[in-house]
A and B are shown apart, each in its own frame.
Chain A
Amino acid sequence: MNEKIGVYVCECGPNIPDRIDIDKVLAEVSVIDGVKTAKKFGLLCSPDGKNFLEEDIKKEELTHAVIAACSPRDHEQTFMTVAVKAGLNPYLTQLVNIREQCAWIYSDKQEATRMAIKSIRAGISRVKHHLSLTKKELEMNPDVLVIGGGVAGVEACLSLAGTGRRIYLVEKAEELGGTVSKLGALIPHQGTAVDLFGEKIDRVRAQDDIEVITGHDVTSARGFLGNFEIEIEPQGDSSEIRNLQVGAVVIATGFGLLSSEHLDTNNGEKNPNIVSALEFESMLAQNAVVGKDGKPPRSVALIHCVGRAELGYCSKVCCLYMIKYAHHLKSMDASTKVTSFYTDLCLPDKSDQAYYDEAVKQGIRFLRSDAPSIQSAEGQVTVEYSTGGGKSASEKFDLVVLAPAMVPGEDTARLADMFNLPLDDTGFFKEIHMMLDPVATPIEGVFVTGCAMGPRNIPETITQSQAAAGKILGSLIPGRKLEPEVKVSEVRADFCTGCQTCLTVCFYAAISFDESRGISVVNEAICRGCGSCVGSCPSGAIRAKHFTYPQIYREVLEILS
């Protein structure tokens, strides 16, 4: 063939020549078909070395370059950059590891030399089958759709505002505010008044670049990062579909609460002395904390952890808001007997324990008990609780407040389906990587913030919305184009049988099925290049750019010859 391959062996100082007979290597590889030149150099990654390489590539008019040196994890990028400078496509190079995985592990010089020659031959054979690959640039839309107008959605909008993009805030209810606007008060060290959210909502409405669309549902979503097409319509009215084109989506649809009907309702009749958290918030908001008799309760039981054992997770916020209720009850009437029944006290934020300690000082009782039982009895409620060692006790209360577990919001499953998002086993949205990317999903450009992703408190929700905004601000920059991964997978239409196996293995939903042609198509904009689809294809129809079968097979053949 017409290749002119340059082979460069880096000595890495004494590291490699001490253990590998470099001259022997050069002698062997220089006679390989296609090799134009084989040279050694002291330290190729040094400024001198890089200059030498660049000059030599140009001088020898090379079509490919194989560098035998350290690990590609160290310097693949370095030498690819040199290639570009020398006018050579960076993907027509190959870095062969003869240091970490050869010189440093084989003590016998002959063996090490043999293995080095073998890997360099493999590299040369491989590089002959490399294709020029170029970075693509994709137009993208920097606008953002935020679904859900509660504290999470509002914060996301405000964090994105004023950065040269349009933000659409779509809320299914007629009013913005979500659950937080229904709260009577916030936890002091998490924010002092619900009014503050009112201010944020006002700001959202006042911003020119934020369009607030209430009373609407999101009904369909197509596309990918930088290029989403979303349909929204007024609740229950499909005649007024509106199309939105955005580059990213932030899902902020919040949470639900486990139904406490089994505890507060008897024979279809709701007991007004047993209320769940949101009902109590409403009482607080209206300054109407009263029992069945219309009078303020003299004794209140706060039952934490309702549903915790059944659902298998702790909802994080309840201990704190129960302490909030306790404080409020005491501040309304210090003589009110307030007792909290809990399983574990969850006080993870730095100021939480101080808040709890204050509550204890105010005479609020905290009793640990697994699953206390509740029964109505003549205008009061009896709570029976365990006192340890198999014993139990019971007390009567005027009012019982329940803290039910936080559950996925009612829109979660529908939106997950629409956007191809996975749910975890609790039914909440699932992060792409729980540790390293808590607000992102496997669908690039779609973020989830706040309680839609799982139990969160308000400061965390705000942080997460800012985080989603941060990720968008960092990647969808107005005027800039997207530069997706180069080493992606590609379906060769002629070989695809339309079995769709590849769709099932793609974690990033980067493959779609073209019904009209009966073949799978890889979306290069979001493909990450893992090759799972390539490995799964029964027809071998998918090509993994830069890791093709011919390239890998050439390495195998040389290794085994």
Chain B
Amino acid sequence: MNSRQPVQALIIGSGAGGAMTAQVLASSGMEVLLLEEGRLWPLSEYGNNCPEGMKKMYRRRGMTPIMGTVPIGYTEGRCYGGGTEVNSGFWHRTPTEILLRWKAQYNLEAAYPKDLEPHFAWLEEQLNVSLYGKEWPASTRIFARGIEAMDWSYQEVPRVVENCESLNFCPNGCPSGAKKSMSRTLLPQAEQSGARVLTNCRVKMLIKQKKRITGVLASLLRADGSEELIRIPAENVFVCAGATETPALLRRSGIHFHIGDSFRIHPMLKVAARFNDEVNSHRSVLPLLQVKEFWPEISLGGAFFALGHLAMLLSENWPATGQQMDNFKTMAIFYVAVRGTGKGTIRSSLTGEDATSIKYDLSREDQWNLSKGLAHLCALLLAAGAVEVYPSVYGLSSINNDIDAIRWLDQLLPKSCLSLTTIHAFSSCPMGERIDRCAADSFGKVYHHENLYINDGSMIPDSPGVNPQGTIMGFARRNAIHFVEEQR
């Protein structure tokens, strides 16, 4: 590579979208340079406890709150491999109903199930998308028992894992390498095809000349802690920095057209449940089932368990529930996730610092769905044998009978008492042919620009209602291949 010449394809971000783009472009023979803001950690540095994991692998050490009518805790990965290093690895193809909705609402072209099928099939093979394959852990068995007692439908969700050792380190990096995260799969493939990577490199802004992006300005963190500002010329730029950072970068660079105006999330309410028998959730993989009975509006499932996470959940009513920490071996954590219908915005910081302003207003529909979801989840857990359920709702310290659970079907959880989190964010730069609401065309090319593309969670037109990794990667591969074909 001659660094005095513009890079043929500059990719910003090494998560699900960026890694996929790099793999396709590099394997097609293009010259690729990938920039990652976070750090590359060797496998030996994975598998820490939560505080250490947050320090190493998360943006702002996990402190990226979403502001709005209800503040929502949001975390996203910031390391080589992005969010795929710290997620649970659940895999869903984009549901047909959702694809049809996107066609109807955003006129998203070439996005029918048959169009995406080859991409999903390829990815599922590469990432070893598979079921657990062994006897389910106790928390999963209990959850299944509850679902069957309610006579609801459920499915074990396949994961991008091979030989899971059930170490319970999913959010802090899988130390056994069983999880097929990007740093273990597509990024090495891209590197083998000639892609170059710069880690610890934060892109400050894109350099624009009329309708072309001529390169980027980036700050490079040196090993001695010093920062160096560098200018990298590029022929084509792919922004794959995630649902919050992609729009922030574009807006910082003076690109505003439908950028960061339609941010969506899956708001999530967690509960802890205490059973009579030991569950030992702290030593096993999270519950592997999801209830799709109320999909797409409401999903119920199991969440990652750690003592620290349990304490945080119980902290909403700590004086009443704190002593339950003693029973941690008989407890597990579950969630209600809703397909967010509220709208949010992403803005770059007004103060010029590298901080993104994230806003999402919980809609009344979201509030109702969370209330109903809580009722369903508590009823399920009680049917599964839970002695008590502890929701992360201030003033609602525990639920121990069906009547107390079911009343939330008809009663709204007060906003001021909710403690919500999310790890699924998307749709901040929707793609589609509807120029009145989309930031990019159906293949991620940013409107009004000749050589600028987005290829990550930000391009997803709307909430997919399922874990988004499969959707992001399927579309990212489709878009990258389309780009390569266009270049030919």
**A and B co-occur in one complex:** no
Residues on B close to A: CB < 8 A? none
